[in-house]
Structure 1
Amino acid sequence: MFRRRPRRGQGQGRRLSTRILASQVAILAVTSVIGFVLFAWAQRAQLDREYEQRALSIAEVAAWDPQIRAGMADPAEGSLVQTAAERITAASKASYVVVIDLRGVRHSHPVAGLIGKRVAEPIVVLDGLGHVGIDQGATGRSANGKAPLRGPSGAIIGEVSVGIPENNVIGQLWRELPTFALYAGIALAVGCAASYALARRLKRSTFGLELEEIAGLLQDREAMLHGIREGVIAFDPRGNITVVNDEARRLLGIDAALGLKPKDVLPEGRLRDVLDGTLPGTDLTVLTDRYCLVVNRMPVGLRGRELGAVVTVRDRTEMVGLLRELDSVRGLTDALRAQQHEFTNRMHILAGLLDLGEHDAAFEYVMESAGAEAALTESVRQRVGNPMMVGLIVAKSTVAAERGVGITLSEESQLGEEPPHLRGLLTIVGNLLDNAVDAAVSGAAATAGGAMAGGAMAGSARVCLSLLETPSAITVRVADSGPGVAPENAEVIFEDGWSTRPDRGTARRGLGLALVKRLVQHHGGTITVSNGAEAEAGTGAETGAAAGAVFTVVLPLSGSVPDPAARTAHANPFELAASGGDRW
């Protein structure tokens, strides 16, 4: 649950929903006032047009009044025009009704002193049409309408001008404004309610966090994600990538990934299965072309809502390498300790023979003991020319012997002094031998009913190594006397982290074969696994002993294709051991 952090500055102590509501209400109020003013202004213009048309209608009615037409036709009856104008003014509540002849002389006016005097503006109805406008006359501001006055013959003989006082327009506007204000108030109330609902929804969407807290969390997140030395990838509920920090981009080799799914940015394999949740578990080990990674995927939820998942990726390449090296050193140390014990026993035997005066027997014992190790090394060097590979095989054989496992190098093995893919070849052979020794120990223990004495297993726990270099490829075959590999596990044994045995010491299980497969694929080779019994059936050989797993690796040379004969030769390495292969 998020914890609120106090912030200083403007807005302190005010909730996010309150601040949003206040801001939106202020905006609504300002816009409502502006809208009200603009509406009133528009309504005022509309009323002016309506009153101008009303004034024009009154003027047209007056222009057809018989009394006015008679008064204009007969100058002797001129008083009829003023009388008719006053009557129409009173009936229509107009401000004035002024009758003007073509010379601009007034024949009627509410101000008696202006009758008989000329108007300043020209006659505008000579075109025979009515005209409207706002008049700033002697009676004040009025909505004005002017209509042509015609004589008995139909000719225009004058003009009738009618004005409606401005206060009539203002009064009408003030009578309508309360209704407009009511509408504006209703709209403002609805807007405030909608703003309140929106504020509450935003409050829920931000899990109760205030604006300053959200900004602070964003800053903290950016600093943390891009500052830590651990890869972080976040997914939304639909499985799309929403966050990838710099370390995750480096470790996974992805760049433009935001908004995409793991299947869009990663090839099919264990890594993609872990990221999208297909492969569950914690601290899952994943090997890439460059790194050994530990990946964890955790779902994220808050207050009952599923928010997606977060994946952390840790680089354990150096540490796993160091742990495996440390485990190998410990194995060599144990072997040296056992050899020291054996050396002490030999010295005791030698001292006893000398004490008994058996000098010839003592000499023969010394020569036999001194020549055993030299003979072992020389036997390997006859078939393997590279000194690094010789050292690896001798070291592995020494450790295996202390665990009661005998390693045999096939008689047909042949490797030059500078074989191609040497670094990868050393890793492949070392890992395959380690796995074969473990399997042979397990098989011997099962055969002996759990007896783990070295002498009890020496005769049954075996590993056979074959190294064959041809012009087209290098073939490595390692067979053991263990329980073998179940057919359904023939593919999964090469996956990262897969193992049937628990971790031993500091070494992590399930990495050796996965690393071997990646190295083989990197060099364009192939790796297969089968059971020794199947190999025997294919060759018709009889070894007289239980045969376990057989791993075959073919590494093609540059510009060549693996030799099919090299891949099928010596299907049962144990047959070579039985026929006289070297054992140490």
Structure 2
Amino acid sequence: MRRRRSLASQLLVWQLVVVTLLLCAVGALTVVQLGSNFRSNEERRMLSVAENVAATNVVQTSMGNWRILAAPAETARSLSGASYVLIVDARRIVIASPDPAQIGSKLDTPTTALDGKAWVGTVDDSIEAHVPVFDEQSRKVNGMVIAGAIEPGLFVGALNQPVDVLRYLAIALVIGVTGSLLLARRVKNQTLGLEPHEITALVENREALLHGIREGVVGLDGQNRITLVNDHASDLLALPEDAVGRSVEELELNDRLRDVLTGRATGVDQLVLRQGAVLTVNRMPIEGAGAVVTLRDRTELLALQHELDASQHATDTLRAQAHEFANRLHTIAGLIALKEYDEVTNYIHQISSAQDQWRAEVSSSIGDPAVAALLIAKASLASERGTALRMGPDSVLGRVDEALSADLVMVLGNLVDNALDALSSLSTNGAGKWIEVGVMQLDDEVQVVVRDSGPGVAPELAEEVFRHGFTTKAASHGERGIGLALIRRACLRRGGSVSVTGSVFTARLPW
């Protein structure tokens, strides 16, 4: 298995590659610059040598005598350090040269010196200067002097310069390596000693964890901008695709959800409504880094809780009926013991008459068996609590489908229970405590109206009780307003609504 290189070694290698390439580029530019400077200096030096030789009296007066001209040409070459000094006559015949074999040969090099103009340039591998030689008396061009220096290679010329290029390049290389080592060490400390593949694995594991868990997770920075969000949270909150990087205040969220996400509403297991679902939200601040918010969908859990509550209510109703039945039996037994037989007859007739009247009233107005059974059972519970339960004068409902029947049972049951809880704190009894239930079947919806003799909901809380899921009572385990939240969810799911005005709750459930 191939061994992975550490982050420090990878950084060191790449830094060395970058430093080496940079130094090579600097070295190449330096060598080119030095070569250019060398050619410029040599051109000026060769021009000066050629001008000095062409200006001597011996050269100007002895152009035809090669024996005389050889001495000044060789002297100039030796003193100047030039590679060669040639003297050529007007016919381009070489008459003085350090190479004897070249004397008498014809020079074909292009030049302007024989036209009276000095010329400097490169011929083959040499830097040459051509200077015309004028006749001392007639001032005509009798020939020319050529001073040349063989051009060394670029690197040889650079090494011969006063500045030691290699020394400075070596110093720069040492500085680059040292800096690379320090940088690698610092990066390793900042990454807690983790190697690149380990960092990649951590990121992949985090992404898999965030998107794999069943809870929604939202990360916020110090300005309440979303820094991360997993798929489940995006679905629960119905966030847009560009939510990451945007502030919570910019998103289309309700006020309650904004308060919880930003920390204005504190506490654990905060209940919020979003897209008809009941969410449990917890916010954990992180000092200096923002906060992490977790979300859970409690809709199904609350539905199960509601079913349990319905079972509990049924049990309470049966218990109330049993308690009421036991009290009536005790009364009848007492009257028999007192031999008040006429009173026994009147008492039994009175009881039967009241029950038959309520059953008849419910049966005549409500045609759905489930809703009718609920109202008959709630009457016994209300009676035990000293509250009168009565039907609204306009109540009428036929048989409906199972889904609507279940929603009506849930809505009516919770509204009646809320009304009983609201009246439980009142001191009045009998006629002073009553609940009126109205169920009207219209063309396209069923309207449920529940009113009671209690103080009602304050106007400023008329929206809060549904949006926040709160009521004015404290429920068990510190939870509040679960029933109202479920009522609103059922109404919104059907495209209806629920509202409250004082002590009157009105729910609309379309067919």
Q: TM-score, with normalisation over the residues of structure 1?
A: 0.73
Matched ranges for 1:239-250 at <5 A: 239-250=224-235
**Partner residue of 1:132?**
121
Task: Give a deviation string over 1:308-354, Cα, whole Å, max 9, x none.
Answer: 22211111111111012202211211221332344455566667888
Task: Give a deviation string over 1:269-316, Cα, whole Å, max 9, x none.
Answer: 212322233322221111122321111121235xxxx22222111111
| CA–CA separation in structure 2 for the residues paired with 1:170 and 1:187 | 19
**Partner residue of 2:310?**
328
**1:526–1:327 Cα change, 3 Å:** closer
Task: Give a deviation string over 1:451-492, Cα, whole Å, max 9, x none.
Answer: xxxxxx556543233445677987644333445444554443
Partner of 1:107: helix, strand, or coil?
strand
**1:166–1:211 Cα change, 3 Å:** same
**Partner residue of 2:417?**
434
One-letter amino acid of the structure 1 residue matched with residue 415 of structure 2: L
**Partner residue of 1:9?**
3
One-letter amino acid of the structure 1 residue matched with residue 275 of structure 2: D
1:498 counterpart = 2:485: no
One-letter amino acid of the structure 1 residue matched with residue 85 of structure 2: V
Q: Is the 8 A contact 1:332 1:399 kept in 2?
A: no
**1:433–1:350 Cα change, 3 Å:** closer
Q: Is the 8 A contact 2:459 2:501 kept in 1?
A: no
Q: Is the 8 A contact 1:101 1:157 kept in 2?
A: yes
Select the residue among 62, 74, 96 that pairs with 1:86: 74
Deviation at 1:62, TM superposition (A): 3.2
**1:244–1:472 Cα change, 3 Å:** closer
Number of aligned residue pairs:
504
**Partner residue of 2:53?**
62
Q: Is the 8 A contact 1:130 1:148 kept in 2?
A: no
**Partner residue of 1:146?**
130
1:217 counterpart = 2:217: no
**1:357–1:287 Cα change, 3 Å:** same
Task: Give a deviation string over 1:422-461, Cα, whole Å, max 9, x none.
Answer: 56655443332221111111x23xx38xxxxxxxx55654
1:415 counterpart = 2:396: yes
Gaps of 5+ in 1: 1-6, 137-141, 449-456, 531-549, 559-584
One-letter amino acid of the structure 1 residue matched with residue 127 of structure 2: A
Select the residue among 455, 477, 480 that pairs with 2:452: 480
**1:363–1:129 Cα change, 3 Å:** farther
**Partner residue of 2:437?**
465
Partner of 1:94: helix, strand, or coil?
coil
Partner of 2:263: helix, strand, or coil?
coil
Q: Is the 8 A contact 2:436 2:451 kept in 1?
A: yes
Deviation at 1:17, TM superposition (A): 5.0
**1:356–1:435 Cα change, 3 Å:** closer
Partner of 2:94: helix, strand, or coil?
coil
Q: Is the 8 A contact 1:275 1:297 kept in 2?
A: yes
**Partner residue of 1:270?**
256
Partner of 1:509: helix, strand, or coil?
coil
- Between 92-101 and 393-402, the greater mean CA deviation after superposition: 393-402
**Partner residue of 2:484?**
513
**Partner residue of 1:281?**
267
One-letter amino acid of the structure 1 residue matched with residue 203 of structure 2: L
Q: TM-score, with normalisation over the residues of structure 2?
A: 0.82
**Partner residue of 1:564?**
none
**1:398–1:144 Cα change, 3 Å:** farther
Q: Is the 8 A contact 2:496 2:510 kept in 1?
A: no
- Between 363-372 and 58-67, the greater mean CA deviation after superposition: 363-372
**1:359–1:554 Cα change, 3 Å:** closer
One-letter amino acid of the structure 1 residue matched with residue 68 of structure 2: L
Gaps of 5+ in 2: none
